[in-house]
């Protein structure tokens, strides 16, 4: 088992590519550094996606998230970077990354970014009585 952070996002074939389904992931211990002060920033990163041909391998995702620990990044930039890297690796039908940032200067910040494949149409939700 690796004990070092890594920017490599390993993937595996989607076991059910014929079906739309959603993966929900919650990473409650994300850290990076404030680019202005160098102090640590803490966030919960949520990833929701509808896979196409590939899914992300969880250990690789953990090591990828760890790779930000000593990186100075604004909340908006790092949340968008995570989305861009995951989209590049997975090419999902849909993906949303949410950064729920802990308080800084008395302000909580949530950053929500999305990707939607141009040839994907979301299924119509089923509403049961």
Residue in this structure with the two tokens 């620990």, named with its chain if needed: 69
Q: Is residue 1 predicted with pLDDT exceeding 60?
A: no
Domain 11-116: which topology? GTP Cyclohydrolase I, domain 2 (3.30.1130)
pLDDT tens, 26-78? 999 999 999 999 999 999 999 999 999 999 999 999 999 999 999 999 999 99
Q: By the 8 A CB rule, do 8 and 60 touch?
A: yes
Active site residues: 34, 41
Cβ count near 56 (within 10 Å): 21
Please name the residue ranges forming H helices in the chain: 58-66, 75-90
How far is CA 52 from each of CA 74, 75, 86, 108, 125, rounded to the nearest angstrom? 30, 28, 13, 33, 19
Give the domain ranges of the chain. Answer: 11-116
The pLDDT of residue 2 is 54
């Amino acid at each position: 088992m690796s004990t070092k952070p890594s920017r490599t996002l390993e993937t595996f074939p989607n076991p059910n590519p014929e079906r739309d389904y959603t993966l929900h992931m919650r990473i409650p211990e994300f850290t990076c550094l404030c680019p202005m002060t160098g102090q640590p920033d803490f966030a919960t990163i949520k990833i929701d996606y509808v896979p196409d041909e590939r899914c992300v391998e969880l250990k690789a995702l953990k090591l990828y998230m760890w790779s930000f620990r000593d990186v100075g990044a604004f909340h908006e930039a790092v949340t968008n970077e995570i989305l861009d890297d995951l989209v590049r690796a997975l090419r999902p039908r849909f993906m949303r990354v949410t950064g729920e940032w802990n308080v800084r200067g008395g302000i909580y910040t949530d950053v929500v970014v999305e990707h939607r494949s141009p040839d994907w149409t979301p299924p119509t939700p089923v509403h049961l009585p």
